[in-house]
Amino acid sequence: TLAIHYIISSTSCFSSLSRLEVLLLEGMDFTSVPQTIGQLKSLSSLQLHRNKLQELPRSISELRNLKHLTLSN
């Protein structure tokens, strides 16, 4: 889990994942999502439930293919 926290916190971690369609980050105790999530242009499903998020970055609006977003405690 610690390694995943570090990777997701990295500002460039998403640049090589532009074809990723599903991202499951549930129950990771994240407090934020990096702005670079907007680089995931093919993302259709993003599951962030059971985290400690206070807000989402503005770049989430750049995810034009996003059909499913799960946010809950």
Is residue 11 over pLDDT 80?
no
Find, among 66, 8, 16, 13, the residue nearest to 32 by Cα: 8
CA 36 to each of CA 11, 18, 45, 47, 73: distance values in angstroms, whole numbers, following the listed order: 6, 11, 16, 16, 23
pLDDT band for 7, please (50, 70, 90 cuts).
low
With 90 as the cut, is the pLDDT of residue 69 above it?
A: yes
Per-residue pLDDT at 29: 85
pLDDT tens sequence across 25-63: 888 888 888 888 999 999 999 999 999 999 999 999 999
Q: Does the pTM of the predicted model rise above 0.85?
A: no
